[in-house]
């Protein structure tokens, strides 16, 4: 009797396993994120700051790089990245107060909590206004 129950259990298991063989192939897949780069430009005034927002649609790597600080760049500027609140305030998460051309800040976005923001600002080293350019690379779903 015991052997009969064991055989029935083995047959039931074999039928179950063979019935499941194609199920995994039919599951929907999530597309891989695509890194997107946005370029931001503007004029930074002495003692001033400028903030730009961007909108990742999935988690992944995020980075911002200063590509230009005008014809006569100062010895340093401030460069920060954070989250954008509902009131429009950029809450700083990453900060570099000694940024120059080619400075990069970034990290891994592990949860989606809305928009992100990057700010560039005078740290007291500027003598006059300057034109700036920086790029932000972030993940989006295709």
Say yes or no to pLDDT of 46 above 80.
yes
Tokens of 135: 């790029």
Structural domains present in the chain: 34-140 (2.60.120.380)
User: In the chain, how long is the greatest CA-to-CA distance?
Assistant: 95
- Identify whether the C-beta of residue 71 lies closer than 8 Å to the C-beta of residue 96: no
Q: What is the structure's pLDDT at 9?
A: 40
Question: The tokens of 119 are what?
Answer: 């700010």
Per-residue burial over 97-124, b if 16 or more Cβ lie within 10 Å, else e, is eebeeebebeeebeeeeeebbbbbbbbe
pLDDT tens digit sequence for 91-120 = 999 999 999 999 999 999 998 878 999 999
């Amino acid at each position: 009797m015991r052997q009969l129950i064991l055989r029935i259990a083995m047959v039931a298991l074999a039928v179950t396993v063979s019935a499941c063989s194609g199920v995994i192939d039919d599951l929907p897949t999530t597309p891989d994120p695509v890194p997107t780069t946005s370029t931001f430009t503007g004029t930074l005034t002495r003692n001033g700051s400028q903030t730009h927002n961007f909108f990742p649609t999935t988690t992944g790597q995020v980075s911002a790089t200063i590509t230009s600080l005008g014809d006569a760049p100062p010895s340093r500027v401030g460069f920060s990245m954070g989250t954008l609140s509902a009131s429009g305030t950029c809450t700083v998460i990453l900060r570099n107060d000694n940024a120059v051309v080619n400075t990069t800040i970034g990290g891994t976005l592990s949860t989606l909590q809305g928009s992100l923001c990057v700010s560039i600002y005078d740290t007291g080293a500027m003598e006059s206004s300057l034109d700036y350019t920086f790029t932000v690379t972030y993940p989006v779903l295709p």
